[in-house]
């Protein structure tokens, strides 16, 4: 069960009245492994935060193959399919493991924006953070070797690799599953610099 301390820590809000309002509109949901939280093409009606477990965001290429776009592994991570509220999501988000999330209806949160400008600042902070994470990934893919991208992933997402299919990790890192497999083999054999 999520309490005031969760939102205080995650959203960095100290206003007791606002925390009480957020808790009053919060619902908790448990997800089974592989359960879709958000479907590509649908407008998101909730603002969702990860409490526990791992999430994966993905889209489909022109041949219908899944391309992994992002991961949620830290409690408090926002699971947002689109950057703007009410827009159709360009990605789907699924649970990689059993997971727990909390959510608040978008319409109720939007109503609070006018009364509590601090909440709008929280929303903007999450958008900036998401943009920074995506630019970091795009920069890694465009400028770094497969080995550096793989090492970056291991450092940035500790423990997640055990829950991923090779094709999901490879697509996230901008390489083929064959390239990922060869890279891991060279690392195991000591023929690639760690």
CATH of the domain at 45: 2.60.120.10
Q: Give the per-residue pLDDT at 4.
A: 87
191 part of a folded domain: no
Rounded average pLDDT over 57-62: 94
Would you say residue 95 has pLDDT above 80? Answer: yes
Total structural domains within the chain: 1
**Range of 87's domain?**
4-117
Q: Do 79 and 35 meet the contact criterion of CB atoms below 8 Å apart?
A: no
Distance CA(91)–CA(33), nearest Å, equals 18
Rounded average pLDDT over 43-66: 94
Would you say residue 193 has pLDDT above 80? Answer: no
124 part of a folded domain: no
Nearest CA among 90, 18, 12 for reference residue 49 = 12
pTM of this prediction? 0.89
Give me the long-range contacts of 164-171 (CB less than 8 A, separation at least 24).
164/56, 164/96, 167/66, 168/56, 168/58, 168/66, 168/68, 169/68, 171/58, 171/65, 171/66, 171/67, 171/68
**Roughly how many angstroms between the first and final C-alpha of the chain, as a whole number?**
42
């Amino acid at each position: 069960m999520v309490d005031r301390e969760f939102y205080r820590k995650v959203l960095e809000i100290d206003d007791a009245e606002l925390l009480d309002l957020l808790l009053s509109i919060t619902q908790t949901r448990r997800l089974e492994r592989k359960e879709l939280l958000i479907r590509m093409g649908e407008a998101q009606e909730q603002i969702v935060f990860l409490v526990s477990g791992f999430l994966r965001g993905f889209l489909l290429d022109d041949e219908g193959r899944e391309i992994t776009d992002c991961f949620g592994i830290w409690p408090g991570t926002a699971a947002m399919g689109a950057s703007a509220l009410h827009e159709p999501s360009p990605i789907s988000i699924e649970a990689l493991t059993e997971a727990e999330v909390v959510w608040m209806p978008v319409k109720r949160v939007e109503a609070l924006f006018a009364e509590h400008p601090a909440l709008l600042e929280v929303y903007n902070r999450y958008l900036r953070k998401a943009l920074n994470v995506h630019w970091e990934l795009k920069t890694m893919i465009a400028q770094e070797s497969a080995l550096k991208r793989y090492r970056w992933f291991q450092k940035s997402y500790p423990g997640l690799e055990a829950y991923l299919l090779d094709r999901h990790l490879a697509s996230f890192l901008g390489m083929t599953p064959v390239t990922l497999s060869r890279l891991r083999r060279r690392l195991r054999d000591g023929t690639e610099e760690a």
